[in-house]
């Protein structure tokens, strides 16, 4: 027997479950199919949420050990209880996943546990404890992504690991090699560094977080280096060997071909993620993947079958939870006959290290490449009263504005609480504010947000007040 739906969403990550909620809100009979027992996808189970929980705990520990004394607080006997820290992370994850199950019930979304695959373009088979068949008018593919590897490197998940295993290590490693100085490498690298692990990052590019504005990577690397993170920039990994009790990583410098050998307890491979479509049966409906393994979609996130959509990590664009969520809402509204709008330029990017890095809009490099006339205003946190009061004066905010119209084109920041500060920049750009609009907006004193206002003052007419 089969059940009939308006929409079946395959995958319960932030793309899929948010899409299911919005579909249900719009009156569609909705099913959500997830192959794992817990809902929430990569983000809640092995991504955003556990990594931020680790970052938060490790940051508190690091502060206590290294910085509380600067405030006149003696903390001579601080003890790290690693299993307890991991337990807290697990509890945060299970509570958050439970929250999604609650939301599904509340919104009357039918949840099916099992691998979803296409029988034909309007029929989905769910292979779980029992097999079910769902007939549907529309399908949303939201099957997400998995970690990538590099040719010749065998991820044994014991000593050579991905972020998934790094989030659940049984012990605190003494040393770790991280391949890839991108977002996962630096976030997870920071967690272990703060807890006392010797962390060595091997990065192929010449700058960390190379996809972001160059100044941000440089600034962040300087702070992490000061805290003891070791960097092998411009190095390509040539060999990763597990000895069972540890790893040996060899890498060659691009510049002079000099080889380095690093021994460590673990090697974390963090060189990007790839779309996940295995077992979906796309071939039965004649859907071919693009050259990067993504489900091809048009500007409305429709595949070549106009009733089948793909959202989130499995299709083009940045692999971020909030991008997946926005796309989930977008396709739900589209199916309901609305005319939603999505502006990919305004999807912010955040790296939750300390200092945090955040950015939105064009980078300087992109503006240069497009030969667009722009002006720059920047403001260092060391000139902010609030940052000084909190001993948090590393970093800066950089505002890029159109040379003629003063419209804000990009905002890039590295410093305290930038993950939250970026929201003001996104909102400003959503309403197409000029740098002067922000410069003339009253910001509470003393707050970190004043630094954004000062950077906008600097961009407007080089008239920052506090530098
Ligand atoms: P996913 O979250 O990957 O969910 C896809 C779901 O589909 C999975 O549950 C999978 O089991 C299921 N599935 C797959 N195939 C089938 C099938 N055939 N049948 C049934 N179910 C299926 N992003 C941020 O924005 N901020 C962060 O701080 C952040 N931190 C991260 C930290 C780490 C360590 C990692 C790995 C990622 C992080 N990300 C972060 C990225 C973020 O997790 C992803 O962009 C996001 O989860 C993508 O959402 P999605 O819905 O497209 O897919
Ligand atoms: P990434 O793309 O951010 O970084 C990968 C890094 O590995 C790059 O700097 C790249 O130059 C480097 N690299 C690639 N091949 C290499 C090689 N052979 N040797 C050395 N270095 C090599 O990918 P990452 O960190 O794995 O994260 C995957 C995705 O997950 C991100 O793109 C992001 O979308 C998402 N994510 C987002 C987070 C956030 O929003 N805070 C946190 C964690 C992940």
pLDDT, tens digit, 9 for 90 and up, residues 76-120: 889 999 999 999 999 999 999 999 999 999 999 999 999 999 999
Identify which of 416, 414, 418 has the alpha carbon closest to the alpha carbon of residue 396: 414
Give nearest CA residue, ligand 2 atom 12: 180
- Please state which CATH class domain 355-459 belongs to: alpha beta
Please pick, among 71, 300, 445, 466, the residue that the annotation labels catalytic: 445
CA of 323, nearest ligand number: 1
**Whether 445 is catalytic:** yes
**pLDDT tens digit string along 20-62?**
999 999 999 999 999 999 999 999 999 999 999 999 999 999 9
| For ligand 2, mutation pick of 47, 181, 272, 274 (most atoms within 8 Å of CB) | 272
Give nearest CA residue, ligand 2 atom 9: 182
How far lies 250's CA from each of 51, 227, 236, in Å?
A: 27, 24, 9
How far lies 168's CA from each of 47, 49, 59, 241, in Å?
A: 12, 13, 18, 21
CA of 43, nearest ligand number: 1
Please report, for the chain, the start and end positions of each structural domain, with discontinuous segments joined by +: 2-147+274-344, 160-271, 355-459
**pLDDT tens digit string along 336-363?**
999 999 999 999 999 999 999 999 999 9
Question: Is CATH 3.50.50.60 the classification given to domain 2-147+274-344?
Answer: yes
Whether the CB-CB separation of 140 and 331 falls below 8 Å is answered with yes
Interhelix angle for 214-226 vs 183-195, to 10°?
20
Cα 399 from Cα 419, distance rounded (Å): 16
Q: What is the pTM of this model?
A: 0.97
Strands (E), 17-130: 30-34, 110-113, 115-120, 123-127
Nearest-5° Cα angle at 361, 356 to 367: 115
Question: Do 2-147+274-344 and 160-271 come out as alike in CATH topology?
Answer: yes
Task: Please state the separation of Cα 90 from the chain's center in Å.
Answer: 19
What are the two backbone dihedrals, phi and then psi, of residue 173, each rounded to the nearest 5 degrees? -70, 150
Quote the ligand 2 centre to 263 CA distance (angstroms): 22
Quote the ligand 2 centre to 93 CA distance (angstroms): 22
Return the exposure string of 322-346: e unless at least 16 CB atoms fall within 10 Å of the residue's CB, then b.
Answer: bbbbbbbbbbbbbbbeeeeebeeee
**pLDDT tens digit string along 250-296?**
999 999 999 999 999 999 999 999 999 999 999 999 999 999 999 99
Quote the ligand 1 centre to 347 CA distance (angstroms): 17
CB atoms within 10 A of CB 22: 22
What token pair was written down for 315?
């299709």
Whether the CB-CB separation of 458 and 464 falls below 8 Å is answered with yes
What are the two backbone dihedrals, phi and then psi, of residue 232, each rounded to the nearest 5 degrees? -115, 90
**pLDDT tens digit string along 198-218?**
999 999 999 999 989 999 999
- Please state which CATH class domain 160-271 belongs to: alpha beta
Question: Is pLDDT at 1 greater than 70 in this prediction?
Answer: no
Identify which of 56, 36, 123 has the alpha carbon closest to the alpha carbon of residue 16: 36
CA of 356, nearest ligand number: 2
287 lines ligand 2 (CB under 6 A): no
pLDDT value at residue 3 = 80
Quote the ligand 2 centre to 184 CA distance (angstroms): 6
Query: What is the residue whose two structure tokens read 């003001």?
Result: 424
185 lines ligand 1 (CB under 6 A): no
Radius of gyration of the chain (CA): 24
Cα 316 from Cα 331, distance rounded (Å): 15
**CA-351 nearest atom, ligand 2:** 41
- HSE toward the beta carbon, residue 213, CA cutoff 13 A: 28
270 lines ligand 2 (CB under 6 A): yes
DSSP for 221-257, please give it.
Answer: HHHHHHTT-EEEETEEEEEEEE-SS-EEEEEEETTT-
237 lines ligand 2 (CB under 6 A): yes
- Give the residue ranges of DSSP H helices in 151-213: 163-166, 183-195
Quote the ligand 1 centre to 460 CA distance (angstroms): 40
Checking DSSP bridges between strand 396-402 and strand 259-264, what pairing results, if any? unpaired
Q: Please compute the mean of the pLDDT values over residues 149-153 and round it to a whole number.
A: 92
Interhelix angle for 14-25 vs 321-335, to 10°?
30
């Amino acid at each position: 027997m089969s059940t009939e739906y308006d929409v079946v969403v395959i995958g319960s990550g932030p793309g899929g479950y948010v899409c299911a909620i919005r579909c249900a809100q719009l009156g569609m009979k909705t099913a959500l199919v997830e192959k794992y027992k817990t809902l929430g996808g990569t983000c809640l189970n092995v991504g955003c949420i556990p990594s931020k929980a680790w970052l938060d705990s490790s940051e508190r520990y690091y502060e206590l050990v290294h910085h509380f004394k600067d405030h006149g607080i003696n903390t001579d006997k601080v003890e790290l209880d690693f299993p307890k820290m991991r337990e807290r992370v697990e509890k945060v994850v299970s509570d958050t996943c439970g929250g999604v199950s609650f939301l599904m019930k509340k919104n009357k979304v039918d949840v099916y546990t099992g691998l979803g695959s296409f029988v034909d373009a309007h029929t989905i088979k769910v292979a779980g404890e029992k097999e079910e068949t769902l007939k549907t008018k529309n399908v949303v593919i939201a099957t997400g992504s998995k970690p990538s590897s590099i040719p010749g490197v065998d991820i044994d998940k014991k000593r050579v690991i991905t972020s998934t295993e790094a989030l659940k290590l049984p012990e605190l490693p003494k040393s770790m090699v991280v391949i890839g100085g991108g977002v996962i490498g630096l976030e997870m690298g920071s967690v272990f560094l703060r807890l006392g692990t010797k962390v060595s990052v091997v990065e192929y590019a010449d700058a960390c977080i190379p996809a972001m504005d160059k100044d941000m990577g440089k600034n962040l690397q300087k702070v992490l280096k000061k805290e003891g993170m070791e960097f092998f920039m411009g190095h390509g990994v040539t060999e990763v060997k597990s000895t069972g009790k540890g790893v040996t990583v060899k890498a060659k410098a691009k510049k002079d071909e000099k080889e380095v050998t690093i021994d460590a307890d673990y090697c974390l491979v963090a060189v990007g993620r790839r779309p996940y479509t295995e077992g979906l049966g796309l071939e039965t409906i004649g859907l071919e993947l693009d050259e990067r393994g993504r489900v091809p979609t048009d500007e409305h996130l429709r595949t070549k079958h106009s009733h089948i959509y793909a959202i989130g990590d499995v299709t083009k664009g940045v692999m971020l939870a909030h991008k997946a969520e926005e796309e989930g809402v977008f396709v739900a509204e589209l199916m309901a006959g609305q005319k939603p709008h999505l502006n990919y330029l305004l999807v912010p990017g955040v790296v939750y290290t300390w200092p945090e890095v955040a950015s939105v809009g064009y980078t300087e490099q992109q503006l240069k490449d497009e030969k667009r006339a722009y002006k720059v205003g920047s403001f260092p946190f060391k000139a902010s009263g609030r940052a000084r009061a909190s001993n948090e004066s590393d970093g800066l905010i950089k505002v890029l504005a159109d040379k003629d119209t003063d419209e804000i084109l990009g905002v890039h920041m590295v410093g305290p609480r930038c993950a939250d500060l970026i929201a003001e920049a996104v909102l400003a750009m959503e309403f197409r504010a000029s740098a002067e609009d922000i410069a003339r907006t009253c910001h509470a004193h003393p707050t970190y947000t004043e630094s954004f206002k000062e950077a906008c003052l600097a961009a407007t007419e080089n008239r920052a007040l506090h530098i």
